Chains A and B, each alone.
Chain A
Amino acid sequence: DGGITQSPKYLFRKEGQNVTLSCEQNLNHDAMYWYRQDPGQGLRLIYYSQIVNDFQKGDIAEGYSVSREKKESFPLTVTSAQKNPTAFYLCASKGPGSRYTDTQYFGPGTRLTVL
């Protein structure tokens, strides 16, 4: 089946540890995105990548890092510098098409809890 997968669904880490969240897509999409969602809030953009080996900071990039070595994969590392990392993390991808009509499709999300 084509789609976006995120693993794991739930993740627990101790404070001060770096942790990497996985995002894979087999939709042949060029652009990929990472969002963060806090309880009762909308999504906020962390990082995005429009092509392989290129990515840009979103609104809340501090304390996070990404890589885009392959088209299918866009892992997000939550570093110890992120002051409040406990949140629901969502990955999305977007395919080629008209600049104004592309649609982002989301993965199921990873819920990270830092103890």
Chain B
Amino acid sequence: DAKTTQPPSMDCAEGRAANLPCNHSTISGNEYVYWYRQIHSQGPQYIIHGLKNNETNEMASLIITEDRKSSTLILPHATLRDTAVYYCIALNYNQGGKLIFGQGTELSVKP
């Protein structure tokens, strides 16, 4: 299983871009990088995923390095409602698509 490492916490000013890093140096060639977030006492919310190319949707952008050893989730204009724990996950399909959640990054968006 590819393990991911993330900083335990980050702060971001409201309206600014939030850049959340993730290291996954042992990721295999067919493992996608997924990002979820979890607001306190709620179920995780899917944000975005990618394999090799950069991806963008209505919530965020995902930048994956060419060697696939790290990635960055970008929230372009953070709001107070983006305060949550963000999880970077390498999807393991050897066990039916089990999501391996680490500790995540606690993002605090401040006014």
B interface, CB within 8 angstroms of A: 30, 32, 34, 41-46, 49, 51, 87, 91, 93, 95-99, 101-104
What residue in chain A is nearest B49 (Cβ atoms)? A103
Starting from the known contacts A90-B43, A100-B30, 8 additional A-B residue pairs (CB-CB under 8 Å) come to A44-B101, A56-B95, A58-B95, A99-B93, A102-B97, A103-B34, A103-B49, A105-B46
What residue in chain B is nearest A108 (Cβ atoms)? B43
Contacts between chains A and B (CB distance < 8 A), count: 63
Q: In the complex, which of the residues A40, A44, A100 contacts B91, with contact meaning CB atoms closer than 8 Å?
A: A100
For B30, the chain A residues whose CB sits under 8 A away are 100
Chain A: interface size category? 20 to 34
For A99, the chain B residues whose CB sits under 8 A away are 93
Q: Chain A's nearest CB lies how many Å from the CB of B89?
A: 9
What residue in chain A is nearest B43 (Cβ atoms)? A106
What residue in chain B is nearest A57 (Cβ atoms)? B95
For A43, the chain B residues whose CB sits under 8 A away are 44, 99, 101
Whether A104 pairs with B41 at a CB distance below 8 angstroms is no
Whether B103 pairs with A109 at a CB distance below 8 angstroms is no
For A4, the chain B residues whose CB sits under 8 A away are 43
Whether B96 pairs with A56 at a CB distance below 8 angstroms is yes
Contact with B along A89-111 (1 / 0, CB 8 A): 01010100001111111111101
For A88, the chain B residues whose CB sits under 8 A away are 41
Whether A90 pairs with B96 at a CB distance below 8 angstroms is no
Q: In the complex, which of the residues B43, B51, B97, B104 contacts A31, with contact meaning CB atoms closer than 8 Å?
A: B97
